[in-house]
Chain A
Amino acid sequence: MKRTVDVSIPVGPVHPCWKEPTRVKCETRGEFVLSAEVELGYMKKGIERIMRGRPWQEVMFLAERVCGICSVIHNMVFIEALEKMSSIEVPERAALLRVIVNELDRMQSHILANFSYCYTIEHETLGMYLLDSREKVLDELERITGARITCAYMVPGGVRFNLRDEDALHLRASMDTLEKEITRYMGMFEHGPLIALRSREIGILTRDAAREACACGPTARASGLPESDRRLKHPTYQKLGFTPVSREEGDNFARIMVRFQEMLQSISLILRCLDTLPVGPIRGGGIPGAGEIAYSGEAPRGELSYFIKTDAAGRVLEIAIQTPSIMNIEACCHYMLTGVASMADVPSTFVSADPCIACTER
C-alpha cells in the first residue's frame, strides 16, 4: 500500500521533556502521526559485560546501578535470585522490611513518572505538588536505609539495618500525610478538564495490542491486564493479600491513574506490613554457592528478570537482565503513537509509558 508521508520528524535525543536521551522518529502527514520508530543506543555502558567473572558482592552494587530510579527492585531481584538458588532462608521481619522499602521505592518512581507526565502536558502546578510529596517518600527511604537513591539495603539472608520503633512511628505518620496528599492530587488529575483534554482518548493501547506487544507493568494494567503483575507470585506479597489494580481505558489518562492507584495501594501495603511486623532477627546468614537460576520480580515499570549462573566461590559466570522498559517502549512506538492526532501529543504519550532508557540499554 502506498503511503503519503509529508515529513519525518525526529524528537530528541536532547528534549526539554525527557530525562534521558533517546530519539523518536515520527513519520507524519500534517499533524497526524502515521508511524513512529525509536532509536536507542545513547546509554549503552555494557554493565553485563562488566559483571561477568566478578564476585556477587561486587555485582550486587553493579546491579543496583542498572537503573537509578528503581534501584531497590534490582537489588531485591538479584539478591532473591541468589537466595533461591542457594536455598537461603530469610527471617520474617526482614521479608516484611524488604516489602516496605520496595514499596517506598515504587512510590517515588511512580510519583516521578506522574511528575514527568504533568510537566509534559504543561500542568506544572500538579507536577510540583507531586515532587514535594516525592521528597517525603525519599526522606522515609533515607531514614530506613541511609541513602536516597542507591541504598544497597538487601543482602543474602536478610536486610542490613533494622527499623527502629521511632522510625516506624514516623513512617506511619508520613504514610497518613501522603495518603491525604495523593488522594487530593488524584482528584485534581481525575477531574481537571484541561488535563482530560490532553490525556483522555490519546495514545490508546487496547487489551489485545498490549498482550501482543508483551506490555508490562502499569502500561499493561491500564489496558486491563492485571495478571501481568509479578507481585502475585511473590510469597511475601501473597501473605499480605495483594491484589493488583487495573483499568480498562488504555489511554494516557488510565496509565497515570493506575500509577496514582498503585501509590495508594503501596501505602496500604506498607501500613499492613507495619501492623504485622514481628520482633525478631533481620539477618539469617548464608553464603551463595554454585548454581543457575532465572528469577523475576515486579519493578515499578513492569516485570524484571535476571538469569544468573555462579560458581562455587560465588563468582557470577553468566548474567542476563531483562528490564521492563524495552517492551513498553516497543508497545508505545508501534501501538500508542500510531494514529496520534497531533505531534504535540507525542512527547506526553511517550512519557506516559514511563520509559527508562538507562535500564533498557544498561
Chain B
Amino acid sequence: MTLLQSLKNFVRSKSIHVAYVDVGSCNGCDVEVLACLAPRYDIEQYGIFVHNNPREADVLLVIGAYTPGWEGKLEGLWDKIPDPKVAVAIGNCPISGCLFNRPHTLIDPPVSKHIPIAAQVPGCPPRPTEILSAILSVAPLVYRDYEVRKK
C-alpha cells in the first residue's frame, strides 16, 4: 500500500455521509437514529453527517422489515447510492422481522435477501450509542483501499 493510499484511507474514514431509509418499522428505531443527532451523542463530532440523500451517501441505515410497498424500490435506492457503499441494518426488524414475523403478516424479512447488509445492530430498538458504534466500526472499511479493490 502506498503512502498516498494510507493517507486517503485515513482522511476518508473521517468523512462519512449517512442516509437512512425506513422500510416498515414501528418508528422506534427512526427516533433512535434521530437521537444520535442530539448534542449528547453528537454524531457529527466523528465526521459523520446524517442527511437523507441516497445519492450522496456512503452508509445506508436500513430500518424496518421489508414491506410489500418497498418491493423493487429498495433495490432501486441501493443502486442510486454511488460506490463504495455499505448498508447497516438497525434493529431486529431487518434481521428477523422481530415480532411482526408471525402468520398472516405482510412483511418479507430479512432485508439481506434484497440488498447486501454489512453490519447488523440488534435491539428493539437499539440504543443510540450502539447505532453510533456500529456506524463508526464500518466507517473505516467503506473506503479502505478503494482504488486497489477497483482494479
List residues of A whose CB falls within 8 A of some B CB. Answer: 13-21, 41-47, 49-50, 52, 54, 61-62, 65-69, 71, 112, 115, 128, 131-132, 134-135, 138, 148-150, 356-359
Q: Contact between A45 and B105 (Cβ–Cβ < 8 Å)?
A: yes
Q: Considering the complex of A and B, which 7 residue pairs feature the smallest CB-CB distances, nearest first?
A: A68-B28, A68-B27, A131-B38, A358-B27, A46-B106, A42-B69, A68-B26
What are 27 residue pairs bridging A and B, where the CB atoms are less than 8 Å apart in the complex? Answer: A14-B21, A16-B51, A18-B52, A19-B22, A19-B31, A19-B34, A20-B22, A21-B70, A42-B23, A42-B24, A43-B67, A44-B24, A46-B107, A47-B100, A49-B106, A65-B100, A67-B26, A68-B30, A112-B31, A134-B38, A135-B38, A135-B40, A138-B35, A148-B125, A149-B28, A356-B27, A358-B22
Instruction: Tell whether, in the assembled complex, residue A62 and residue B28 are in contact, meaning their CB atoms are under 8 Å apart.
Output: no
Main secondary structure of the interface of B (DSSP, over half): loop
Interface membership of chain B positions 58-85, coded 1 if the CB is closer than 8 angstroms to chain A and 0 otherwise: 0000001101111001000100000000
Which residues of B from 115 to 141 have beta carbons under 8 Å from A?
A: 124-125, 127
Distance in Å from the Cβ of A63 to the closest Cβ of chain B? 11
Check if B151 is an interface residue, CB within 8 A of chain A.
no
Q: Is the CB of A67 within 8 A of B40?
A: no
Nearest-neighbour CB distance to chain B for A227, whole angstroms, equals: 29
Please tell me if the beta carbons of B67 and A42 are within 8 angstroms of each other in the complex: yes
B94 contacts which chain A residues (CB < 8 A)? none
Chain B positions within 8 Å of A71 at CB level: 26, 28
- Contacts A44-B106, A45-B107, A47-B100; is A131 near B34 (CB within 8 Å)? yes
A-side binding surface: helix, strand, loop or mixed? loop
- Residues on A with C-beta less than 8 A from B113 are none
Which of B29, B67, B70 neighbours the largest number of chain A CB atoms within 10 Å of its CB? B67
Q: Contact at B38–A132, with CB atoms within 8 Å?
A: yes
Neighbouring A residues of B21 by C-beta, 8 Å? 14, 21
Contacts beyond the supplied A21-B22, A115-B34: 7 A-B pairs with Cβ under 8 Å: A19-B22, A21-B21, A45-B24, A45-B105, A52-B104, A54-B102, A358-B25
CB closest chain-A residue, reference B30: A19
Tell me which residues across on chain B come within 8 A of A54, comparing CB atoms: 102
What residues of A have a CB within 8 angstroms of the CB of B69 in the complex?
A: 21, 41-44
A18 and B124 CA atoms in complex are apart in Å by: 21
Q: Which of A13, A132, A358 contacts B26 (CB 8 A)?
A: A358
Tell me the smallest distance from the CB of A14 to a CB of chain B, in Å: 6
Cβ of B29: which chain A residues have Cβ within 8 Å of it?
68
